[in-house]
Amino acid sequence: MKYPVIAFTRLLGAVALSTLIAACGSGGGDDDDGAGGGVIVPLDTFRVTCTVIDTAAALVEGAVVTFNIEGINPSPSTTTGADGKCVPLDIKAADVTGLTQVAASVIKAGYEPGQFTCPVTTGGTTCNGAVALRPLATNTSLPGNGDVVTHIGDGIFDGTINSQFQTDAVGLSADFPIADWATKLQANPGWTRATVVLDAKGWQTTIAPTCKNTIAMVDSGGVVKQSQPGGDSSATGEWSSSTFDFDVATVGTSGPVTLRITAGTCNTPAKDVDDFETNRIRVYYCDAATIGPCAPKP
């Protein structure tokens, strides 16, 4: 996102530091007073703790929680125990100070990817994240690399609150292969739509200055089978969800398919390219009797 609608200082004053557990599988983090479990966090450290459950409120053991952060390789990560709580993760404050709405990816086999965010990243404080993972259904595909934070764009942005990206730009487009596309759809001819749902930050396709972002399905030969305009994320710089419907007949079921997300030029004199981050990409296969990500029609 190139041009913010609010200033950095204004957002920090308005951030509500609360923890959210959402049934869709994403959650929120909160920033405490620096005492994680009664232990004072050093001023040069940003600490992350979390609790992971599933949508039936059962504790999830073995979930991997990862922060993809620019300049840190490998990415800092931790794992949940039998109590659903992750081992506290300490990150150098200098590596994250100034970032806002930093997202943590939560991955566990058999579940859709989850995410929680840390509104602010200040040394001497703790982000307490919480997330409810949704069990993976048979009509769902998880595109490759869709469960990590990916920064798409030219990497040139103004650095204000809406552009506090946490990872390096991978380029003007990113491909997310859907390896089981043909297998699932050939076995289920009644699934006529593919609904892509993802989280995004800084995405402004219709928010001024409008940018020619696209999301498309590409076949194994590199041919774009169906393309549509990208989405918009929160104008206040927060992560938000976007949904896109694709027609299975148009895309085809004869082979592997790749989801391609492209950053386009914006309606500015300099013709800047949009910058945004994505995470938690899922594909739901739906029949003619459902709407949205396979919800029954009313």
Q: Say what the pLDDT of residue 119 is.
A: 86
Specify the pLDDT at position 120.
Answer: 79
At 34, the pLDDT band (50, 70, 90 cuts) reads very low
Parallel, antiparallel or unpaired: strands 173-178 and 224-229:
unpaired
User: Taking residues 3-8, what's their average pLDDT?
Assistant: 31
Instruction: Tell me which of 21-25, 61-65, 101-105, 269-273 is least confident.
Output: 21-25
Instruction: Identify the pLDDT of residue 271.
Output: 83
Q: Which CATH architecture has domain 8-133?
A: Sandwich (2.60)
Domain boundaries, the chain: 8-133, 140-296
Report which of 224, 226, 220, 281 is spatially closest to residue 256, judged by C-alpha positions: 220
> How much of the chain exceeds pLDDT 70, in percent?
85
Q: What is the pLDDT of residue 56?
A: 96
pLDDT at 264 over 80: yes
Interval 227-233 mean pLDDT: 96
Task: Judge whether 8-133 and 140-296 match in fold.
Answer: no
Report which of 76, 144, 91, 77 is spatially closest to residue 121, judged by C-alpha positions: 91
Residue type, 223: V
Count the residues in the chain. Answer: 298
Q: What b/e string do you get for 72-106 counting C-beta neighbours within 10 Å, with b at 16 or more?
A: eeeebbbebeeebebeebbbebebbeebbbbbbbb
pLDDT at site 163: 64
Average pLDDT over every residue of 203-217:
94
- Res 99 pLDDT > 80: yes
Q: What is the mean pLDDT of residues 182-200?
A: 96
Query: What is the pLDDT at residue 29?
Result: 44
Q: Is the pLDDT of residue 104 over 90?
A: yes
- CA–CA separation, 229 and 13 (whole Å): 33
For strand 257-262 and strand 214-219, is the pairing parallel, antiparallel, or unpaired?
Answer: antiparallel
**Would you state the pLDDT for residue 156?**
87
Highest mean pLDDT: which of 16-20, 58-62, 159-163, 237-241?
58-62
For residue 30, is pLDDT > 80?
no
Q: Which one is predicted more confidently, 30 or 164?
A: 164
pLDDT at 160: 62
Q: Which CATH class is domain 140-296?
A: mainly beta
- DSSP state string for 88-142: PEEEEHHHHTT-EEEEEEEE-TTB--EEEEEEE--TTEEEEEEEEEPBPPTTEE-
| Phi and psi, residue 217, nearest 5° | -105, 130
Q: How confident is the model at residue 159 (pLDDT cuts 50, 70, 90)?
A: low
Report pLDDT for 151.
96
4 pLDDT above the threshold of 60: no
